[in-house]
Structure 1
């Protein structure tokens, strides 16, 4: 792509490019700092590799036009193919298994399927509250949200228990996954000693991938032995053919899809819940507003499936948390043909541009003069209708947008509602938000002390 008309940060050096001042542990946050003040499009360059970023609403609206652009699998996502192969997230759209798996798995996210998953989501949420009821000190929020969402996708999607709340340390799958994601993130680093220090060796990465694939293979083999007519994700992949052609997924792709859903199905939702709790506990008036809605809509009873969608303010809290820190923080688009972006930037077929979502979600042209302010009322229906359609994209865009969006949102609203229904929270006033990156985003070192609310304690003692 011809980048001569695209700005970049001052001080670019020969060979190193924009490396000085870049933190390889936090490439997204480094990009946000580097791009501040440069406008709706800018570049960064490292050892001859120049990357184009677009964060202005007008350019992103063009990039999201499916007739002109499609998903680009590159950089970190391309490296993830070593973990998830041609799974739904990492597959090239041209690969036949993408369309095949997408069409086979769509019924797993229908309204009927969501109703089936609800009881499992409740069951796992009660495992969380049981753990928090026993807690005698602060809890690590991101770690417990990871336990919650890992158990949920394991049970709802595959009938498998990771036993996360029975372990003091993360499940080995999670430990291996975190290292593998970090290795993929840092695979572009041209200094091998830096990459090894931060992400481990290639041998360690292969061992981590083996840990993940071995577990998934065990789960798949157990289901094959059991048989049955389960309509969860794994059941559909094993038993269903394409609705039009009857073609089935091959065993390797089933493994790839299973890894994709376990990783993507819990990493992003756990981050969204963690950020929502962070912002609510920093804004007590908003926390009380959210809790008042839960008390008014659910009262003291266990929520039924239809009760979750009634928590409209709680949903807005999550939407606003994902605006500021979308846990899948960007996507890349490639030109389907030679074209000119924004009437100014020539692109050849196959040229790609990254959309850094935290920057798009802070575009003052859309979000006003104070885009850093946490304000769930940005997602009131009237405000949403006034915004450009492409201004908010936490689940990606177009035909490659997240297939599990409704699953994630139902799980997150249900879990946050249950936490608000049961607990008051004591936060550490000295904590300052620190974000850890491993292709997804989470707050690091964020703890809360959950205290059972008086009304909840009374219900517990009465034998609820």
Structure 2
């Protein structure tokens, strides 16, 4: 496959940077064939095999990929995607000296909305390094201590809403309310902005707009690959998507303009991006990139966390022994007062609850994959782990997608892998596992920059909700998951009784 070369001008440092990346419409591997699921159809390939729901590719793959070996391919409308789930191969791909993050088509297409934000940037784009190094200190322990009170405040506001619903005998729809909570937490903590999320049951237009943008990005490459009509349809739908997304562009510009007009020196992520130089020459992060980072952090800081919290509550309502152990730990650490709030120092003491979060992310990593390409031509699986004698040659134009839900269900690493068991994450088990068997936040320098924020928030929210309420699910509910670029339970409703 030919390499696409693009010239991109970046203002930081007044440099022109030539960046070379694989095309977004495929993942390389020309001339190679790998195992694939049964039922491949002409033109449509594997992703649209008979009986498969094209809107749930992650769940489809979990159903069919277990017997395909450590490396396999999915063909979709003529495009080949090569997946890896074997822990030994994943370990090789996670070596930042040999491999680098590449953008799968859905992530690449998200660039039309987010540009070179932290999640969607190519690693060789200067703005990625500048923003990454600028923002890393904003997620260190001293900063987390500041965010703690914001997380508690927003959780208390959600509890007020849920208490009112519970006293009225109403069930609450879990995921939308938790999405309000996590959006409000990251907006207040990082940008000192409020969406007034708890003043109405309606979903904020920011959420509905960006969910539509993510859903479009996730399927855009499939639309573009349709024979004869694909390019025309993409041009038309791109215009509509960008018109719809203008609401978010206007919002971001307003957030930045209000901060600039206030003249305040606020110690949050926005203040850091607007006030701290990115180099010794005093260069500031360019204005457009500041907006890209705001949007990236808002979305990444709420969408995945609300999904993880929703999955955790789903499993806890179906695992009474696990829930009882959580409650016992909460009573021991926080006391028996159901209104108690964990202090910053108490959060790490909720070790079993943290293991519940870890096990939830094992089964349902809400960002289900990441793609890797070699920095230069190399051979992987020389020890036979690729299923090819002598190993498998990869060029920089070839990419492998690490399919995290399958990696996290490898029975050689995770016995009885579909069972929900937080004790898998006891220290002795963590030490015994291969280093790269658990990857819910990605890998290396391109791992999620806000993972400590997400984990701290998840423990606080679950601690306060479970200490305050008895939570009863609707008895006939069957787990239903919607897929955009992230995974989210839908239709999961619970009744609430104050403890």
- How do 1:369-380 and structure 2 match up within 5 A? 370-380=416-426
The equivalent residue for 2:471 is 425
Match of 2:324 among 279, 288, 306: 288
Deviations 1:237-260 (A, max 9, x none): 000012655421000000000000
3-state SS, counterpart of residue 308 of structure 2: helix
Distance 1:449 1:113, change over 3 A: same
User: Mind listing any 5+ residue stretches in structure 1 that lack a counterpart?
Assistant: 454-464
Q: Is the 8 A contact 1:24 1:186 kept in 2?
A: no
Shift of 1:41: 1.1
The equivalent residue for 1:10 is 38
Deviations 1:121-165 (A, max 9, x none): 111000110000110311011111101100000100111110111
Shift of 1:196: 12
Match of 1:170 among 203, 208, 212: 203
1: distance between equivalents of 2:409 and 2:449?
Answer: 25
Distance 1:3 1:122, change over 3 A: farther
Counterpart check, 1:451 vs 2:492: no
Counterpart check, 1:113 vs 2:143: yes
Match of 1:385 among 415, 431, 453: 431
3-state SS, counterpart of residue 309 of structure 1: helix
3-state SS, counterpart of residue 366 of structure 1: coil
The Cα RMSD (Å) is: 1.8
Q: Is the 8 A contact 1:329 1:357 kept in 2?
A: yes
Shift of 1:36: 2.6
Distance 1:195 1:298, change over 3 A: farther
1: distance between equivalents of 2:293 and 2:190?
Answer: 11
2: distance between equivalents of 1:275 and 1:3?
Answer: 40
Counterpart check, 1:305 vs 2:344: yes
Shift of 1:439: 0.5
The equivalent residue for 2:270 is 234
Q: Is the 8 A contact 1:189 1:195 kept in 2?
A: no
The equivalent residue for 2:159 is 129
The equivalent residue for 1:355 is 402
2: distance between equivalents of 1:37 and 1:195?
Answer: 36
The equivalent residue for 1:220 is 256
2: distance between equivalents of 1:354 and 1:208?
Answer: 30
Distance 1:245 1:331, change over 3 A: farther
The equivalent residue for 2:49 is 20
Deviations 1:1-34 (A, max 9, x none): 2564521123323322222234221121122223
3-state SS, counterpart of residue 442 of structure 1: strand
2: distance between equivalents of 1:30 and 1:163?
Answer: 37
Q: Is the 8 A contact 1:104 1:243 kept in 2?
A: no
Counterpart check, 1:261 vs 2:290: no
Deviations 1:91-114 (A, max 9, x none): 000000000001111121011100
Please report the TM-score for the alignment, with normalisation by the length of structure 2. Answer: 0.87
1: distance between equivalents of 2:111 and 2:214?
Answer: 11
Shift of 1:230: 1.2
Distance 1:281 1:86, change over 3 A: same
1: distance between equivalents of 2:362 and 2:345?
Answer: 25
The equivalent residue for 1:346 is 393
Counterpart check, 1:406 vs 2:452: yes
The equivalent residue for 1:456 is none
Match of 1:208 among 225, 240, 244: 244
3-state SS, counterpart of residue 488 of structure 2: strand
3-state SS, counterpart of residue 160 of structure 2: helix
2: distance between equivalents of 1:245 and 1:284?
Answer: 58
Q: Is the 8 A contact 2:371 2:399 kept in 1?
A: yes
2: distance between equivalents of 1:208 and 1:421?
Answer: 41
Matched pairs, number: 450
Distance 1:6 1:292, change over 3 A: same
2: distance between equivalents of 1:439 and 1:333?
Answer: 17
Shift of 1:229: 1.8
Counterpart check, 1:179 vs 2:212: yes
Of stretches 32-41 and 234-243 in structure 1, the one that deviates more from structure 2 is 32-41
2: distance between equivalents of 1:153 and 1:302?
Answer: 19
